Amino acid sequence: MAANNSPLPAGVTKEQAFGMAETEMEYRVELFNRLSQTCFSKCVDKRHVSSGLHLYFYGSRYKESELNMGENSCIDRCVSKYWLVNGLVGQMLSAGGQRPM
């Protein structure tokens, strides 16, 4: 059995473990960044409002530097949904990976 304090999975060297940890961290940072950009565009960056075939262009962009209540709620919900989609897609990818294409 492993003599050190944090046992590694079978067949994994310490170098590999560090590599995987780094990859995992990079993935998480990327996830956060994409989530943040996406939800900003969906909830805060209200430049265009499409109504049917028409695109309305708000004359004054960024009227203020505070987030209003609507934006706050939207952000919370967007983050929650993005997270769920992330999980769903993850499930589908791991299930699909076992079937031959």
Q: Which residues are near another protein by CB under 8 A? A: 4-6, 14, 18, 21-22, 25-26, 28-29, 32-33, 35-37, 39-40, 43-45, 47, 61-67, 71-72, 75-76, 79-80, 83
Report d(CA 1, CA 30) in Å as an integer: 35
Nearest to another protein of 6, 51 (CB atom): 6
Report d(CA 31, CA 18) in Å as an integer: 20
Q: Residue 75 in contact with residue 44, Cβ under 8 Å?
A: yes
Nearest to another protein of 56, 62 (CB atom): 62
